[in-house]
Chains A and B, each alone.
Chain A
């Protein structure tokens, strides 16, 4: 099981061809209190970079882009009633969706934990 990070502040946790995707703790912290999350539907087919979800916080509404190409296999329905899960557990219970990864090579363009840490340090 390996976790990758995108420059759009998403994480994707890959296990046997399926990636679980959420936003990073850095992202939830920057967004502030999250009040609404719109997740995709199971079966949606997405290309890397497609808009896949929307996060609304008290500050802004932001689009979430799919870090890989693939098909949605599950979504986190708990977020519908409790968007604050993203604030309290961005890397855990606040996950957004699971996606079956069509092309493993797309993961190569993403960062590992250390790379992401350096990336966000550069944003400060």
Chain B
């Protein structure tokens, strides 16, 4: 048996079955090692550290002193190392392969970013240090803020929000404060079906009633329906652009004008800014507030790899309501404004200034690419997605006509009558060594498969992905149903009972009898 690169997958003369056939004593399959929970493999008799004997002491916590053993599992240091290393080898990561999660932008984290973030001047400082000793760090935040304002064409930015949804919350709180300052508190936020799922959640958390706006046949905001929903009680509209169908909202300026005409604000979800960075300035589109996911557009680690960072750019109208703290340039040096003196700021979203490690990485990414390089990022991400779309649309079902932006959306029409669902298809991708794409989202199409290759991938890498997808589609259409419905076969754990896990979650480990 040869793989598609012409390399044998087993020794000549053996079959795949005989290769896989023998039971092993350990349950391990070569380097695919079985690993138990830490409570299963550890016990209270082992430890990796020598702690001094506890001397006589007097408790000052009243009657709540623990009087029995905690029973924490102990391991020797090598066992602890092996435990976590073995677990990490079962994980999928951007450093292992293409990570096609649409709407999620899993792209390469350049090693240059990491090198810069480890410089002691930015890595080994503390937020409570005297301001005079962290001038360089404040300069870095100020420079990053300058880049963000320049790239978006917006006059102000709040740096402290720590993730996309946190940024949304910041933006809506600024909108809410601005309206309340005018004595015009409103109660409705419009959120199109093509927006990110967090948008309606954010609006609801801010106390607004969410009114959904339907999508048109071509996957965009239904402008007529949106205009009909507008009224004096509408505080804002939240539009994701490009939207979660991977499409640019062509009527974005008209949307902005319409919401401004009724005295509302335009929140743009900037999660997909990577598709337009260096090409379009949201400020020119009439945006009042937009968060920027540094962990998406500006390549800082994403998805368990590191904390997010979601600075929010604000229009002139919303800037006075921005949260504290923020960096300002004083007469001679930088200062951090910790207390609002205008009485307008809506308050504080985080204890300190934001995600310093991510600021450093994002600025390293921006400066190493330059303005022209960032525009190229947008071009390449759109090119790669369209290459995927064009290479698969003859055998899969593209949901919308025409080219896409940074992600390609397919639905499950091509699987009709095959007995294979979107879920089954995704599980078979795991057997092929890929993390599945986003599935069943966006909801506007049936059995969605949303693929975002990102600009990180070379043509060779995308070709391999496309070849794998075509192979699976052909197998599904040829009636090789079992390959899908029982998948994954090659993963450390096989098909899990996801329904059972959700209906009857076992949230506490107990020792086997």
B441 near A58 with CB under 8 A, answer no
B440 adjacent to chain A (CB < 8 Å): yes
A58 near B443 with CB under 8 A, answer no
B503 near A60 with CB under 8 A, answer no
Interface bracket on A = 10 to 19
B440 near A36 with CB under 8 A, answer no
**How far is A121 from B411 in the complex, measured between Cα atoms in Å?**
18
Q: Contact flags (1/0) for B483-507 with A, using CB distance below 8 Å?
A: 0000000000000001100110000
5 closest residue pairs by CB, A with B: A35-B502, A33-B499, A59-B440, A35-B503, A58-B498
A83 near B440 with CB under 8 A, answer no
Contacts of A35 in B (CB 8 A): 499, 502-503
Given A35-B503, A83-B503, CB of A60 within 8 Å of CB of B498: no
A69 adjacent to chain B (CB < 8 Å): no
Contacts of B499 in A (CB 8 A): 33, 35, 58
B442 to chain A, nearest CB (A): 10
Among A49-92, those with CB < 8 Å from B are 51, 56, 58-60, 62, 83-84
Nearest residue (CB) in A for B210 is A51
Among A28-61, those with CB < 8 Å from B are 30, 33, 35-36, 51, 56, 58-60
B502 near A60 with CB under 8 A, answer no
Q: How many contacts A-B (CB < 8 Å)?
A: 23
Nearest residue (CB) in A for B446 is A30
Interface bracket on B = 10 to 19
B313 to chain A, nearest CB (A): 30
A36 near B441 with CB under 8 A, answer no
Contacts of B502 in A (CB 8 A): 33, 35-36, 56, 58
**How far is A2 from B397 in the complex, measured between Cα atoms in Å?**
40
Q: Which of A33, A36, A60, A84 contacts B443 (CB 8 A)?
A: A60
**How far is A59 from B446 in the complex, measured between Cα atoms in Å?**
11
Contacts of B441 in A (CB 8 A): 60
Instruction: Jot down 23 A-B pairs with beta carbons below 8 A, ordered by A.
Output: A30-B446, A33-B498, A33-B499, A33-B502, A33-B503, A35-B499, A35-B502, A35-B503, A36-B502, A51-B210, A56-B502, A58-B423, A58-B498, A58-B499, A58-B502, A59-B423, A59-B440, A60-B440, A60-B441, A60-B443, A62-B443, A83-B503, A84-B503
Q: Contact flags (1/0) for B118-141 with A, using CB distance below 8 Å?
A: 000000000000000000000000
**How far is A15 from B423 in the complex, measured between Cα atoms in Å?**
40
**How far is A84 from B497 in the complex, measured between Cα atoms in Å?**
14
**How far is A62 from B200 in the complex, measured between Cα atoms in Å?**
12
Contacts of A36 in B (CB 8 A): 502
B10 to chain A, nearest CB (A): 36
A32 to chain B, nearest CB (A): 8
Contacts of B210 in A (CB 8 A): 51
Nearest residue (CB) in B for A56 is B502
Q: Contact flags (1/0) for B425-462 with A, using CB distance below 8 Å?
A: 00000000000000011010010000000000000000
B504 to chain A, nearest CB (A): 9
Nearest residue (CB) in B for A50 is B209
**How far is A36 from B501 in the complex, measured between Cα atoms in Å?**
12
Contacts of A33 in B (CB 8 A): 498-499, 502-503
**How far is A51 from B188 in the complex, measured between Cα atoms in Å?**
13
Contacts of B498 in A (CB 8 A): 33, 58
Contacts of A83 in B (CB 8 A): 503
Nearest residue (CB) in A for B447 is A59
Contacts of B423 in A (CB 8 A): 58-59
